[in-house]
Amino acid sequence: MSDRARNIVSITVIVVMAVVLFFLVSTRPATVDRVAEIGSRIKCPVCQGESIANSPSQMAEDMMDLVAERVSSGTSDEVIVDELLGSYSGAVLLDPPASGNTLALWIAPVAALVLGVIVILWWRRHPGQDVEEPPPPGRSRARLIIGGAVLVLVFAGIVVFAANSLQDRPAVAAGAADLGEEDLSDVSNETMEAVIAANEDDPQIVGMRLALAERYFEAGDYRSAFPHYLEVAEHPSATDPEAITALVRLGWMAFDGNGEVETAVRLIDQALAIDPGSQLALYVRARVLWCGSAETEQAIDAFEGLLAQPDLAPETRSQIESDLDAARAGESCP
């Protein structure tokens, strides 16, 4: 094959690979790349040296959701990183940044292009044939076509592999719940714990602390719920309903967990001092008297007083009526 033909083939192959590389880079979803890049710089607070972009933990997914939302709203990388480091206790910058999907996405196509150029240059300098005895024209042309096709296919294969290995992870979809909003249903317990630990002095954290304590209480995890209820009950920024709920829950846990009737009644009475008509406090106090002491008559009076309130929810009224009938019949509380 003549040098001119060899040059044409080499240039053609390089141009094809460069066009494919440009297309891959220019059509990448920039938003997802930013999310992954930022996530690769932040260490997961509950993992051993992993970035939040690579960690399977629920906290890491929550943090990546927050990153995705901030990116979609146009927040700068520096502000996003500062927010993560300030909101999540244990989150630190990885130094050097963890190598992740974003790094592979940039390196793989470029490496393929460089490799292709090297192969072409080597092929040009080592044609693998005897100059004095050139092969028939048909054989040389077929070899040229096959060699060029192999180079293009190898490059395309590397590009496809890199692209397929970088599918968007579901956890970085935009529109995730903001930790600053009232709806915390999609936020994990461990994430709430981390946010609370990083913002203990913020008055706005009281609501999140109470919500987390309620989760633990409903799950029967009194040990985890107790410190949060105690903080809410003693926090000067807690609203009356928040303080009442915390005191009543503390009272019930003192009774149900340790059998401390007097402590339970005292805590619930503190809640009633804030709001004497609190239905929650009156009901729990009546149950403590019925279940934990011989003061059944007082419990009956308390149940009857509650039933006299016209604004009881139907399900609450039904439960109180059931308890009142059992107490009147001398039954033990369930």
Cα–Cα distance measured from residue 274 to residue 246, given in angstroms and rounded to the nearest whole number: 12
Which burial class, exposed, middle or buried, applies to 189 when counting CB atoms under 10 A from its CB (0-12, 13-18, 19+)? Answer: middle
Q: Please state at what angle helix 222-234 crosses helix 205-218, rounded to 10 degrees.
A: 150
Distance between CA atoms of residues 244 and 266, nearest Å = 13
- Kindly state the tokens that stand for 331: 């039954």
CA contacts within 13 A on the Cβ side of 229: 24
Per-residue pLDDT of the chain (334 residues; tens, 9 = 90+): 566 666 666 666 666 666 665 555 554 445 558 898 898 888 887 666 788 888 877 778 888 888 998 898 888 888 898 888 877 766 677 754 444 444 554 565 566 666 666 766 665 565 554 444 555 555 555 555 565 565 556 556 655 555 554 443 333 222 223 344 445 777 888 888 888 888 877 878 899 999 999 999 999 999 999 999 999 999 999 999 999 999 999 999 999 988 899 999 999 999 999 999 999 999 999 999 998 877 789 889 999 999 998 888 899 899 999 999 998 988 888 7
Rounded Cα distance between 309 and 323, Å, is: 16
Every domain of the chain with CATH number 1.25.40.10 lies at: 200-328
State the DSSP H helix or E strand holding residue 303, giving kind and residue range, or none if neither.
helix 296-307
- Please check whether residue 213 is in contact with residue 223, taking contact to mean a CB–CB distance below 8 angstroms: no
Amino acid at 39: G
Give the per-residue pLDDT at 101: 46
Structure tokens at 175: 């529109």
What pLDDT does 190 receive?
Answer: 86
124 contacts 6 by C-beta, under 8 angstroms:
yes
User: DSSP letter string over 173-207?
Assistant: -SSPPPTTSS--TTS-HHHHHHHHHHTTT-TTHHH
DSSP string covering 243-257: HHHHHHHHHHHHHHH
**288 near 272, Cβ under 8 Å?**
no
Q: How far is CA 218 from the centre of its chain?
A: 22
Q: So what's the pLDDT on residue 102?
A: 45
- The CATH homologous superfamily for domain 3-164 is Cytochrome C biogenesis protein (1.10.8.640)
The CATH classification of domain 200-328, taken from the options 1.10.1370.40, 1.25.40.10, 1.50.10.20, 1.20.1530.20: 1.25.40.10
pLDDT of residue 18: 63
